[in-house]
Amino acid sequence: MGISYVEFEDDSGVLQRYRKHVNGKGLVSVKAKVDPTAYVDRSAYVDPGAIVQRGANIGHGVWVDRDAVVSERAVVGPNVHVGRRAVIGKSVELGAYAEIGADAKVHHGARVPRDAVVPDGTDVAPSDSDLRRLGLAA
C-alpha cells in the first residue's frame, strides 16, 4: 500500500498536494518539512514551505500557513492560525483561538493567551513568569 495524498486548490488556483503526517495524521504539504516526532492533529493543516520542528505539538483545527516556522517543543493550541512567515520559538505556548499575524515572531518561551491577536510583523517576548516557567529567570 502506497502513500495516499489529498489535493487542494490554493487561493491562486494552483493544485497543492498534502499527505497525512505519521504522528497524528494531520495534513502536511509535500512541500513542508515536519519532523516525525512532532504531533500534527488529524484536523490540522501545514502549508507549503512551513517547518515544524521536533517535539512540537500542533493541536486540533490548527492552520500553519505558508513558510511559517514552529520550533522545538512549541505547543500550538486548538484552532490557532499561524500566519505566513511567522516564527514560533522553542517552548512557546499558543492558547486556543490565537491568531498569529504574518511575519510575527513569538520568541522562545513566550506564551500567547487564548483568543489573542498578534498583529502582522509584531515581536512577542517572553514575560518574567514565562522565563521562570522554563527555569531561565531568577
52 closest CA partner among 68, 30, 31: 68
95 closest CA partner among 81, 107, 108: 81
Pairing of strands 15-20, 27-29: antiparallel
Q: What is the mean pLDDT of residues 101-116?
A: 97
Instruction: Judge contact between 68 and 83, C-beta under 8 A.
Output: yes
CB count within 10 Å of CB 31 equals 15
Which CATH number is 16-133 given?
2.160.10.10
**Residue 3's pLDDT band (cuts 50, 70, 90):** low
Res 22: pLDDT: 94
In terms of residues, how long is the chain? 138
Instruction: Judge contact between 15 and 8, C-beta under 8 A.
Output: yes
pLDDT digits (tens, 9 = 90+) for 36-86: 999 999 999 999 999 999 999 999 999 999 999 999 999 999 999 999 999
Predicted TM-score (pTM) of this structure: 0.91
Res 134: pLDDT: 72
> Where are the domains positioned within the chain?
16-133
Using DSSP's 3-state secondary structure scheme, residue 130 falls into: helix
